[in-house]
Amino acid sequence: MKQLYIKQKVFSLSEKFTIKDQQENDVYYVEGSFLKIPKTFSIMNTTRDEVALVTKKVFSFLPKFFVEVNGRELLTIKKEFSFFKARYTIEAADIEVHGNWWDMDFQVLKQGEVIGKVTKEWFTWGDSYKVDILNEEMEYVIIAFVVAIDCVKADEASSSSTATS
């Protein structure tokens, strides 16, 4: 099992952060497209090769995010129409999520087998997540998935704060 840690900086305008291993070595770099359309998050390995990409669909009635790993679109996260609480669905071939993904406490399964676990680290400055990789072949998928969900949550938070202003 491999453990990775994702910690975003709270006041980062550049939308850049790193993913670290247990020894606090940088393993992946994530760069967001600040103020660009479409909004994307590129996930790169230590040699700066892109291994995954999260893209927010531009012209959509409800928010929709696409996740590509190694150039292949693997999953979609889309907001469902609801009047009270925000609801999202995850569409992916052979990949399921069990648990509370909105609060970042869930398991990722492929064909019924747990391939990763994600838990939010509490009492930290900014959003921090511990990611347990149980199937290293699926590492990019799990990392992209966590970044995509975090992007959805940030998008939801910014739209709700704009609506209350």
Give the residue extent of every domain in the chain: 2-159
Q: Choose among 146, 132, 129: nearest CA to 6.
A: 129
pTM: 0.80
Torsion of Cα atoms, 108 then 62 then 28 then 133, to 10°: 0
Q: Choose among 31, 23, 32, 17: nearest CA to 3.
A: 23
Architecture label for domain 2-159: Beta Barrel (2.40)
Nearest-angstrom CA–CA distance, 83 and 59: 21
Quick check: 105 and 84 in contact, CB under 8 A?
A: no
Mean pLDDT for 93-106 is 80
Quick check: 39 and 33 in contact, CB under 8 A?
A: yes
pLDDT tens by residue, 52-97: 999 988 766 777 888 898 888 888 888 777 676 666 777 877 888 8
Within 10 angstroms of residue 62's Cβ, the number of other Cβ atoms is 12
Query: What band does 113 get if pLDDT is binned at 50, 70 and 90?
Result: very high
